């Protein structure tokens, strides 16, 4: 007696191939989207890290520059305040600042309070070979002056000096400081690490205008 034929038929090879092709295509699309999302996340994470570290350094640098000149006078008799910037050692690429933070009134020279303690005589500059902003302190407590890296992956750091004349609302901006410098504009450009497969912004920039509180001109404003 013949067995009845089953009415259920299986998939043909062609149908299986089509199904597999569709599934592989979908998996490829999903994989590409996932990879892109990971790339975007990595890019934004690195950008955030660069922004955070650069902003932190800018805050530190701004604070020290703002305090420049504390306890230092152009004239120890009349006590005309100094802006604390060492003119001969400062330009558009580096800045040297002095502050009598410990309030030592023993004059190291006829025109300024002593600045021989740690943190009172600081130079900031860009070490171009390593892309690092460096802080140099000749008075640090160690066998020798301390040179420390405060942030890496920096393309440039620029100092612009804004100069005032008492009684005159006009200002001038120069690439070297003057005795009339009342503000310093600090611009830091940080490099961003590239992320494979992403259209990466190469740099990010921060700018801060820092008022020198301890200057003759600025003190006359209060």
Q: How many CB atoms lie within 10 A of CB 87?
A: 14
Q: How far apart are CA 222 and CA 218, in angstroms?
A: 7
- Residue 220's pLDDT is what? 63
pTM for this one?
0.73
16 φ, ψ to 5°? -65, -40
Cα dihedral 130, 132, 136, 140 sign: negative
Q: How far apart are CA 200 and CA 174, in angstroms?
A: 33
| pLDDT tens digits for range 60-101 | 899 999 999 888 887 667 777 888 999 999 999 999 999 988
The stretch 179-191 carries a mean pLDDT of: 90
Task: Kindly report the average pLDDT of the chain as a whole number.
Answer: 80
Residue 94: closest CA among 191, 160, 163, 173: 160
Q: How many CB atoms lie within 10 A of CB 99?
A: 24
Confidence of residue 42 (pLDDT cuts 50, 70, 90): low
Confidence of residue 43 (pLDDT cuts 50, 70, 90): low
């Amino acid at each position: 007696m013949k067995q009845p034929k089953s009415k259920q038929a299986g998939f043909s090879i062609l149908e299986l191939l089509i199904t597999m092709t569709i599934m592989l295509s979908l998996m490829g699309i999903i994989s590409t989207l996932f990879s892109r999302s990971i790339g975007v996340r990595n890019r934004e994470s690195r950008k955030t890290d660069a922004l955070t570290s650069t902003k932190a350094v800018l805050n530190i640098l701004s604070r020290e520059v703002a305090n420049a000149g504390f306890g230092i006078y152009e004239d120890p008799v009349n006590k005309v305040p100094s802006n604390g910037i060492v003119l001969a050692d400062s330009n558009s690429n580096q800045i040297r600042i002095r502050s009598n933070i410990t309030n030592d009134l023993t004059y190291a020279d006829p025109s300024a309070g002593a600045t021989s303690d740690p943190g009172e005589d600081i130079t900031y500059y860009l070490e171009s070979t390593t892309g690092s902003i460096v802080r140099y302190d000749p008075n640090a407590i160690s066998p020798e002056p301390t040179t420390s890296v405060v942030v890496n992956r920096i393309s440039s750091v620029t100092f612009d000096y804004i100069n005032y004349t008492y009684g005159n609302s006009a200002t001038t901006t120069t690439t070297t400081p003057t005795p009339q410098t009342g503000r310093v504009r600090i611009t830091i450009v940080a490099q961003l690490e590239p992320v494979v497969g992403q259209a990466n912004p190469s740099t990010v920039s921060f700018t801060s205008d820092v008022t020198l509180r301890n200057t003759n001109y600025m003190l006359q404003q209060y």
